[in-house]
């Protein structure tokens, strides 16, 4: 089996996973959008770091050392902040070898055990009232997943395919982008919401402000 055939076989397992999580019927469809992207390392070099069996390397090094399809297997990979096509700022989730793993990692299930720290976003998002500090949670839905093919044509066609969640949504905030920030030397998962409102207020405090004639202030808040 050629390296190209192996890549095609890996992509062919996608529909099997869709049937697994959405049922075996022929009309089963995922509840999220899959965005397909391709990145040629011949044009944009040293922008992808691969983690494999406790080691980290550039994807070019992985390609150079590969002599059979098995050599292209990896644990995860991620994009660096590039000067060309890439701009991972803020940094997004790492790419998993399969769609199933990408969703599992995002929710905190079956995290990779490769000697590197892992973070996850979970199944819910929490909100806190800016006035009384009451907290509430809401389901977090995956709405968009990226499939990225990183490949080279020199000396022959080789590629690896990774998956990650790139968009989520909640009933309260609408869509947002999962990303990571460095807080006190620790990486933390956050959601960068597309909703410009960044303050929250519970329904009880909203009623109290309204009773005090300060309902105009509610325009700056998301009410839960």
pLDDT, average across residues 106-123: 93
Is the pLDDT score of 20 beyond 70? no
What pLDDT score was predicted for residue 69? 92
Residue 10's pLDDT band, with cuts at 50, 70 and 90, is very low
What pLDDT score was predicted for residue 3? 40
Higher pLDDT, 9 or 32: 32
Residue 30's pLDDT band, with cuts at 50, 70 and 90, is low
Q: How large a percentage of the chain has pLDDT more than 90?
A: 69
**Closest of 108, 106, 109 to residue 94, by C-alpha:** 106
Rg of the chain over CA atoms, in angstroms? 21
Q: How far apart are CA 162 and CA 128, in angstroms?
A: 35
Helix (H, G, I), strand (E, B) or coil at 122: coil
**Closest of 172, 198, 51, 38 to residue 111, by C-alpha:** 51
**Sign of the CA dihedral running 69, 72, 76, 80:** negative
What pLDDT score was predicted for residue 90? 64
Q: How far apart are CA 129 and CA 42, in angstroms?
A: 50
Count of residues in the chain: 224
Summarize pLDDT for 38-66 with one digit per residue, the tens. 999 998 888 899 999 889 999 999 999 99
Summarize pLDDT for 166-177 with one digit per residue, the tens. 999 999 999 999
Helix (H, G, I), strand (E, B) or coil at 190: strand
């Amino acid at each position: 089996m050629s390296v190209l055939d192996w890549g095609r076989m890996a992509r062919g397992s996608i529909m099997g996973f869709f049937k697994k999580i959405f049922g075996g019927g022929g009309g089963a469809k995922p509840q999220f959008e899959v965005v397909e992207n391709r990145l040629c390392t011949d044009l944009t070099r040293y922008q992808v770091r691969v983690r494999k069996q406790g080691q980290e390397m550039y994807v070019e090094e992985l390609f150079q050392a590969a002599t059979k399809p098995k050599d292209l297997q990896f644990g995860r990979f991620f994009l660096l902040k590039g000067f060309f096509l890439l701009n991972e700022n803020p940094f997004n989730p790492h790419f998993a070898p399969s769609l199933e793993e990408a969703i599992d990692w995002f929710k905190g299930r079956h995290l990779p055990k490769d000697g590197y720290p892992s973070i996850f976003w979970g199944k819910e998002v929490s909100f806190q009232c800016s006035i009384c500090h009451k907290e509430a949670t809401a389901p977090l839905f995956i709405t968009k997943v990226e499939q990225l093919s990183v490949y080279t044509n020199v000396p022959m066609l080789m590629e690896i395919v990774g998956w990650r969640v790139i968009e989520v949504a909640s009933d309260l905030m609408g869509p947002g982008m999962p990303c990571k920030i460095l807080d006190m030397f620790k990486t933390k998962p956050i959601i960068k919401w597309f909703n410009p409102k960044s303050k929250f207020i519970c329904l009880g405090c909203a009623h109290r402000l309204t009773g005090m004639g300060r309902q105009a202030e509610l325009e700056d808040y998301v009410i839960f």
